Every structure is written in C-alpha cells, then in structure tokens.
Structure 1
Amino acid sequence: MSVRLENVGIAVSDLDATVSFFTDLGLTLLGTDEVSGEWADTAVGLDGNHARIALLGTPDGHGRIELFEYIHPAAIPTGPTLPHEIGMHRIALQVDDLDAALEVAAGHGCLPLRGVADYQGVYRLTYLRGPDGNLVMLAEDLQRQTPADPEE
C-alpha cells in the first residue's frame, strides 16, 4: 500500500488573516471553497458541517496546508497548545532567510516565543504563534548549498 501526506489541516477563526500570514511567508494559495452537505457531515463527523476552506502549497510543490474556518457549527476556541502537550503540535516551515521570515511574521503580530536558537550550526530556528495561536516553527538550514555566483 502506498501512502503520501496530502496536507495538514488547521482550524482558524479568520481565514483571510491566516491565508495572508502564510502567503506573506511564501506559500501559494492554491484554491478556496465553501464546503457543506451530507458528504461533508459524513467525512468530518459533524452534523450541519459548513466551512470556508483554503488550500496553500509550498514553493517546492511538496507540502500543503488546508485552512478551514467554520461557519457551522460555531468554532470552539481553545487555549494555545503548549510545546509539551500531547496531540497536534505545530507546523514546521523551512525558510531560506529566517530574519526576513521573522519580519514578515512580526508584520502579522506574530513573534518568537522566546527567541532564535542555533541547533549545532545546522539550523537556526524558532517557534512562534500564528494568527490563531497555532504553533509555527520557522527553520533556516545553515548548511544548505547556495548556487555558485556565475561571476566567480
């Protein structure tokens, strides 16, 4: 049996604000829709399920995030997940310039939880909370090979 990760789903309170956050970080909006009906009730396990959704993709074409904002039933706010709690934890994005990504995130009011860490000279990384408080890890690969300068 073949298995591949399709996407990671994140429930949000403001779809437009969260799409803006992720697209400003470099993801691409692949599409939006509104879903409801018996098939949606069955698939999700909620009667009267009705949501606005957006599908985002990473520039490399391998990763996708599905954001959904519930119209019905009403979304239930929860406290922010703590880094050591069991359950869905965070989404991790590799960026080519962590400082630039942090400037973009700050423009959305999203700041590192504690600062930027260096993992053994391999990654610079940080956790921050996205627009709805979901944990987002941003990581810069310090050992990635950069293309050679054609003038060298």
Structure 2
Amino acid sequence: MVIRGAVQHTGLTVSNLERSVDFYVRILGCKLIMSQEKTGGYLAAIVGYPNASLKMAHLSDPAGHHVIELFEYMVPEMVKTELEPRRIGNAHLCFLVSDLNAIYNAIKNEGITFISGPVDVDTGVNAGGVGLYLRDPDGITMELFQPAPGTNAYKLLQGEK
C-alpha cells in the first residue's frame, strides 16, 4: 500500500514555546493559528508518553501553505540533543524569500546564530539562487533561500503553478 495524501504540518519540539513563537512570527514571518495546553488523552497516546503534558502552537508559514507545529513538553522532562546538519535524522525548514541580502541585513543583529551568511549557489538545479542556514532559539536548523528567476521554486514564491 502506498500513502496517498499531502504533508499537513511539520512538528518541532522546543524548550520554550513563547520564545519560539516570537522567533517564528517576528523573524520568519509566520502567523500564529492557535495555541493550547494538553495533558493525557489522545495526544499522550499518539506521542507514546502516557502522562504527557505539553504546550503547543500551530503557525502557518508566511505564504499560508504549510503548518509548523511547536511542542513544549512539560511532562515527561525534555531531553536536549546536539542538532547539526550532518546528524542522521536532523531536519531543517526552508523558507523561500525574494531578497535574501535585505532580510539578512535586517535580522543579522537580532541575536540569531547563523551557520552561514548569504551564499551564492553556483552549480546544480539551484544555480543562480542564494541561501543561508541559521538556527532557531533551540538550535533547530532553518534555511532562507532566494531562488533564481525561472526556477520552480521562484515560480512557487511568485504564486505561480
């Protein structure tokens, strides 16, 4: 059997929900859809922790195409891990932007940890684009990418199909 459907959201565990919501809204341009607290019940069963208690928020990406779900576990105690792009299982979210250099200049003094500044993509399918990696407040990798004109990513950014 093959799953036939669509990706509805990406879930990330954070250490401080309010701080992360502020970062995703103020720096990345997301919009808060909802926030709530849950203890036990169906959510505890799904995540596999019988007594789970957590705070959660749903945010939409700036274009309103994708939901980012943030969880802050109250119970059980959270476990820190080193997040690095080369670690198996490490993920990142990529935000398409129209002017990466302007955005970088606007946010570079916001206390953000950047893995790189803007880098020109000079080979491959993304040649002509510009990208950078940064970390959210918990060290989760985010990518900002300005696609080259004419590419599928550029058309997506422009609202074309």
TM over 0.5: yes
TM range (shorter): 0.7 to 0.9
The amino acid across from 2:120 in the alignment is D
1:33 to 1:104, Cα distance in 2 relative to 1, 3 A: farther
1:111 to 1:98, Cα distance in 2 relative to 1, 3 A: farther
Normalising by structure 1, report the TM-score.
0.85
Tell me which residue corresponds to 1:123. Answer: 129
Please state how far the C-alpha of 1:129 moved relative to its aligned partner.
0.9
Structure 1: runs of 5+ lacking an equivalent = 148-152
Structure 2: runs of 5+ lacking an equivalent = none
Report how many aligned residue pairs link the two structures. 146
Please state how far the C-alpha of 1:107 moved relative to its aligned partner.
4.8
SS in 2 for 1:93: strand
Normalising by structure 2, report the TM-score.
0.81
Identity %: 29
Runs in 1 of length 4+ with deviation above 2 angstroms?
99-108, 144-147
**Match runs of 1:23-34 below 5 Å:** 23-24=25-26, 25-34=28-37
> How big is each residue's C-alpha offset from its partner over 1:91-119, in whole Å with a ceiling of 9 and x where there is no partner?
11112222343345435421321322111
Tell me which residue corresponds to 1:12. Answer: 14
1:49 to 1:106, Cα distance in 2 relative to 1, 3 A: farther
Report the RMSD for the aligned CA atoms in angstroms. Answer: 2.1
Tell me which residue corresponds to 1:132. Answer: 138
Q: Which has the higher contact order (CA 8 A, sep 6+)?
A: 1
SS in 1 for 2:108: helix
The amino acid across from 2:6 in the alignment is R
